[in-house]
């Protein structure tokens, strides 16, 4: 068997792992590279394998850095099936359509402003190309074995976001186990990841491999922010990923209101069309989260969904105080939240709560690093409001949780490959696992291959 690391190796984005056993080739995840320009340019390179020779893709979850290159795979000639859970299937459709739309808009904008070196500027893929691949998606239930030629596959819950899984793959008498992105032990909304199955080789994520999350809970951070916003008669603006984070935030804020921990009259606006499209899936797929049937709808009944761009603009003019706005995108790379930052960030009474991972090269990262000026829509904007950067909302296990998950396997794997992390996170986790468990841990390089 041969395992190749074609993305998500030495970095957090672009996850793609190719497994070849006899005449069968299977790809685990097919993600887009994101963040720094030199990474994003990789999306335009030809895929480092022959797409039409791949028999199937197994998708761990719907985040763009795990599914976003699927349309490119099909464009390159892939004709197999894409296997994942039902919730991942539905979320992936929403996320890929949004991705195509953003790329079409960006190409269109570049052509109108003529700032692209390419004439004409083209999207990586179009809405039509995305729609054409949906017929190849096949949902599979958790825990039930299925076959891709002679390979045996099972999916196990990974927490993280709705539908997310780890993948067990058996062939040639060996077992490979891909962790996928692992969620938290005590997330208020998502279930904890299932313990890993016994495996010969473990391919494990390391996003927070060298770090512990703050001991402060997300609940405590929200409580402080909301109390202060009320006292200041200000605006609490929370940039958020549309899928996962936004729902977690809405759920926790409504819970605080219902318990009487914060003023129940403070309006909460949910400003993400993609997030709204994802909301219904929480009721449809309750097996992937902690809430009982009906409870998520009750949360959303107490949140005001901002449906149109006009409503979003009207919020910027609104004199309502205090108020809370959850808006995408989470790292301030685009979306309606940028208009809110323009409207609210100059007022010291307001709070900007960065509640997610802020990748290098984004406006969110600049603010997290203490900059008080960011460029939005071509002009520098002063940020005088309070900026709070918190990792308490993370959907990723931290070092302690990763180690706990690793040690909960029925027997330790013979070989471990650490992926999906920045270099310091990878070496941090490798050292920890080696010293604590005396195991063989390797950090593969991008495009590296190993025989198993």
Footprint of Zn ion (CB under 5 A): 63, 181
DSSP state of 305: E
Q: Which residue, 59 or 107, has its beta carbon nearer to Zn ion?
A: 59
How many CB atoms are located within 10 Å of the residue 277 CB?
Answer: 18
Closer residue to Zn ion, CB minimum distance, 181 or 194: 181
Nearer to Zn ion, 133 or 158 (CB): 158
Of 38, 40, 36, 18, give the one whose Cα is nearest residue 28: 18
Cα gap 355→374, rounded to integer Å? 18
Q: How far apart are CA 153 and CA 451, in angstroms?
A: 19
Of residues 168 and 205, the one with the C-beta less far from Zn ion? 205
**Which residue number, 98 or 181, has a Cβ lying nearer to Zn ion?**
181
Taking the complex as a whole, the smallest distance from the CB of residue 169 to Zn ion amounts, in Å, to: 19
d(CA 38, CA 352): 29
Please report, for residues 72, 121, 146, 342, 373, the alpha-carbon distance to residue 105 in angstroms, rounded to integers and kept in the order given: 18, 11, 39, 21, 26
Which helix (DSSP H) or strand (DSSP E) does residue 331 occupy?
Answer: none
> Judged by CB, which is closer to Zn ion: 205, or 256?
205
Task: Rank residues 181 and 252 by Cβ distance to Zn ion and give the closer one.
Answer: 181
Q: Can you tell me whether residue 11 is helix, strand or coil?
A: coil
Choice between 181 and 422, CB closer to Zn ion: 181
* CB of residue 242 to Zn ion, shortest distance in Å: 13
Smallest separation (angstroms) from Zn ion to the CB of 228: 31
Q: Residue 161 CB, nearest distance to Zn ion (Å)?
A: 6
Shortest CB 308 distance to Zn ion, Å: 29
Q: DSSP for 212-259?
A: ---SS-HHHHHHHHHHHHHHHT-EEEEE--TTTHHHHHHHHHHHHHHT
- For Zn ion, give the closer residue by CB, 6 or 395: 395
Residues written for the chain:
452
In the bound complex, what is the minimum distance in angstroms from residue 404's beta carbon to Zn ion? 19
Nearest approach in angstroms of CB 112 to Zn ion is 33
Q: Which residues contact 187 (CB under 8 A, 6 or more apart)?
A: 159, 248, 290, 395
* Shortest Å distance, C-beta 251 to Zn ion: 19
Write down the least CB distance from residue 160 to Zn ion, Å: 6
- Determine the straight-line distance between the first and last CA of the chain, rounded to whole angstroms: 5
Shortest Å distance, C-beta 182 to Zn ion? 9
Using alpha carbons only, how large is the chain's radius of gyration in Å?
Answer: 22
According to DSSP, the residues that pair with 402 across neighbouring strands are none
**Nearest CB to Zn ion, comparing residues 29 and 388:** 29
Q: H or E stretch including 413? A: none
Cis status, amide bond into 338, omega within 30 of 0: no
Q: Cβ neighbours of residue 280 under 8 Å, at least 6 residues apart?
A: none
Among 343, 389, 391, CA closest to 363 = 389
């Amino acid at each position: 068997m041969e395992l190749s690391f074609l993305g998500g190796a030495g970095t957090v984005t672009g996850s793609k792992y190719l497994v070849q056993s006899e005449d069968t080739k299977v790809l685990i995840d097919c993600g887009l590279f994101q963040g720094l320009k030199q990474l994003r340019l990789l999306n335009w390179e030809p895929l480092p394998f022959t797409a039409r020779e791949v028999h199937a893709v197994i998708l761990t979850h719907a985040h763009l850095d795990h599914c976003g290159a699927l349309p490119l795979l099909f464009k390159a000639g892939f004709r197999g099936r894409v296997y994942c859970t039902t919730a991942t299937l539905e979320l992936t459709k929403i996320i890929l359509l949004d991705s195509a739309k953003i790329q079409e808009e960006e190409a269109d904008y570049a052509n109108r402003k003529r700032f692209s070196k390419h004439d004409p500027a083209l999207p990586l893929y179009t809405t039509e190309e995305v729609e054409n691949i949906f017929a190849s998606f096949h949902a599979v239930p958790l825990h039930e074995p299925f076959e891709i030629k002679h390979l045996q596959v099972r999916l196990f819950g990974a927490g993280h976001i709705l539908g997310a899984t780890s993948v067990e793959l058996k062939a040639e008498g060996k077992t490979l186990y891909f962790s996928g992105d692992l969620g938290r032990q005590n997330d208020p909304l998502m279930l904890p990841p299932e313990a890993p199955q016994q495996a010969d080789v473990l391919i494990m994520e390391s996003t927070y491999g060298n770090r512990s999350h703050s001991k402060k809970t997300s609940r405590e951070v929200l409580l402080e922010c909301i109390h202060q916003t009320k006292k200041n008669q200000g605006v609490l603006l929370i940039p958020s990923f549309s899928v996962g984070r936004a729902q977690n935030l809405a759920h926790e804020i409504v819970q605080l209101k219902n318990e009487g921990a914060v003023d129940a009259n403070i309006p909460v606006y949910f400003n993400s069309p993609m997030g709204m499209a994802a909301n219904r899936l929480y009721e449809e797929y309750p097996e992937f989260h902690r809430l009982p049937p009906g409870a998520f709808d009750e949360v959303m009944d107490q949140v005001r969904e901002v449906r149109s761009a006009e409503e979003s603009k009207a919020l910027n003019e609104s004199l309502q105080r205090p108020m809370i706005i959850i808006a995408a995108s989470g790292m301030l790379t685009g979306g309606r939240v940028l208009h809110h930052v323009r409207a609210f960030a100059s007022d010291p009474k307001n709070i900007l709560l960065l509640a997610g991972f802020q990748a290098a090269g984004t406006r969110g990262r600049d603010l997290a690093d203490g900059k008080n000026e960011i460029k939005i829509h071509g002009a520098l904007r002063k940020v005088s409001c309070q900026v709070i950067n918190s990792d308490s909302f993370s959907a990723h296990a931290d070092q302690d949780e990763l180690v706990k998950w690793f040690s909960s396997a029925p027997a330790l794997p013979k070989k471990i490959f650490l992926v999906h992390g920045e270099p310091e996170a990878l070496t941090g986790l490798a050292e920890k696992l080696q010293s604590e468990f005396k195991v063989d841990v390797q950090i593969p390089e991008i495009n590296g291959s190993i025989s198993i």
